[in-house]
Amino acid sequence: MTDGIPNGRGKFTAKNDEGVEWTYEGSFVNGHFQGDGKTTWKSGQIEIGTYEDDVIVPLKDEQLRTFYSNTEEFLHHCVELVGQVFTTPENDENGVTIQFFTDIENQDKNTIVYIPATDFEVKQGDYIRIIGLVDSEVDGENILGGAVTAPLVIAREYEVVSYIDAVSPTKETIDVNKTLSQYDYSITVEKVELAEKETRVYISIQNSGSDVFHVYSFNAVLSQNGKQLSEEYNYEADYPTFESDLHVGNSTEGIITFKPIENQPFTLILDASSDNFDERIKPFEFSYPVTEAEDEIPTYTTIDVNQTETQHDYSIIVNKVEFDENETRVYVTVQNEGTDVFHLYPFNAKISQDGKQYNEQYSWEEGYDSIESDLLVGNTTDGIIVFEAISESQPFTLRLEAFSDNFSEMLNPYEFTIEPGTE
């Protein structure tokens, strides 16, 4: 005792709210149970272990490593265990008995737990966290029906938990909250969870566009420190997955999993497309850390042209022109209502703007639709002719050379003058 306050080792006896007498023997610090101790109830219940601020604390990790090989040493000690139920729970009038593996990955360390609650709902396959006292060792069966000896724990606290909490706890959470949009199709990276065994990326998708929007998680790529990672689907986790083919007006959410990464800068790239083939959707690219200067994915400006030029019933229609920072795309329709085969070769196409001439530069990577260069009578073809990036605000002239197999037809170049803002 120090100034009338218990310090050191001693003994304390009291009664609980139900009038049951109990006795604590062990270490005291400033009047509190602190350190090694033992509590015995008159009913015969015993708890042994380490106390902090009057409360017994579960065994530490290093003690748990020997718990299953030497259970007798830890009788009446407090344990905190997380596992997966592998048999059908057995109910009685006072509670429920479960068997679970605490080594979930290897389906090992069979443990029998009695939960003194008739209203606790648990089923085979659930993940459970319990805190309780080691009661004894009992004989039971493993998942294959073989005889085993397993510790019996009487639970004081118990709850059904998620796969993440039980198997792959989050070490760090990165709040990203970044949305990128193209043509009113939006993808948001909400957060990234870093775990020892995996990385979880939380995605939401909104389709406010014109057609079905497609995003496939198996095409996702995460890059960090020069290393590229593809999706690694976690079949055990049953994480929510987003709808890959999202109809207009709908939204969806899901998780994409990758191998574990560090809390360092990374880039996530998601390929996407829509069923509106006039929409050229670029990959959605998210960088972390997110900076204030990071803008949404640059899209492009569209000018509706709808100009038609016809010679000898061979018609060329310029439908529209798209401008972005990398290239200019001219959407062309060709109709042959003439007398013979009609020839239009995009490599001869030219754009003139502000005294500068631009030739076609086909984009092999994008794989744009191309027109049929040799068009038979009665047919129509559509395609895209690609040029270097030009100004979207200045007038320009498009020149297309063509000819037919009817050599009596002299065709002049098809020339279109396009003035932005006057279509």
Q: Is residue 133 part of a domain?
A: yes
CATH number of the domain residue 328 falls in: 2.60.40.1640
pLDDT higher for 408 or 146? 408
Residues 6 or more apart whose Cβ sits within 8 Å of residue 370: 346, 362, 383, 384
Rounded to an integer, the average pLDDT of 405-411 is 95
**Domain end marker among 166, 201, 222:** 166
Average pLDDT, the chain: 91
Q: Is residue 1 part of a domain?
A: no
Residues 235 and 134 occupy one common structural domain: no
Q: Is residue 359 part of a domain?
A: yes
**Domain end marker among 116, 145, 166:** 166
Q: Is residue 186 part of a domain?
A: yes
Residues 162 and 186 occupy one common structural domain: no
Residues 156 and 217 occupy one common structural domain: no
| Joined tokens for residue 327 | 């290239």
Q: Is residue 296 part of a domain?
A: no
Residues 213 and 284 occupy one common structural domain: yes
Cis peptide leading into residue 289 (ω within 30°): yes
Strand 108-115 and strand 147-161: the pairing is parallel
Strand order in the sheet with 314-323: 301-311, 314-323, 327-336, 380-388
pLDDT higher for 1 or 398? 398
pLDDT higher for 384 or 141? 384
Residues 315 and 414 occupy one common structural domain: yes
Residues 33 and 140 occupy one common structural domain: no
Residues 406 and 337 occupy one common structural domain: yes
| Joined tokens for residue 56 | 């017994």
The fraction of the chain above a pLDDT of 70, given in percent, is 94
Residues 309 and 261 occupy one common structural domain: no
Cα separation, 422 vs 273, whole angstroms = 31
pLDDT at 2 over 80: no
Identify the DSSP state of 419.
Answer: -
CATH number of the domain residue 262 falls in: 2.60.40.4170
Residues 317 and 344 occupy one common structural domain: yes
| Total length of the chain | 423
Question: Tens digit of pLDDT for each residue in 254-300?
Answer: 999 999 999 999 999 999 999 998 888 999 999 998 655 444 555 67
pLDDT at 293: 45
End-to-end Cα spacing for the chain: 95
Q: Is residue 22 part of a domain?
A: yes
pLDDT higher for 364 or 54? 54
Residues 180 and 160 occupy one common structural domain: no
Asked if residue 212 lies in contact with residue 279, where contact means CB atoms within 8 angstroms, the answer is no
**Domain end marker among 288, 317, 337:** 288
Q: Is residue 293 part of a domain?
A: no
Counted domains in the chain: 4
Q: Is residue 295 part of a domain?
A: no
Question: Tens digit of pLDDT for each residue in 41-91?
Answer: 998 889 999 999 999 999 988 888 889 888 899 999 999 999 999 999 999
* Domain span at 184: 170-288
| Weakest mean pLDDT among 130-134, 159-163, 267-271, 359-363 | 359-363
Residues 123 and 151 occupy one common structural domain: yes
Provide the pLDDT confidence category of residue 423 given band limits of 50, 70 and 90: very low
Residues 78 and 144 occupy one common structural domain: yes
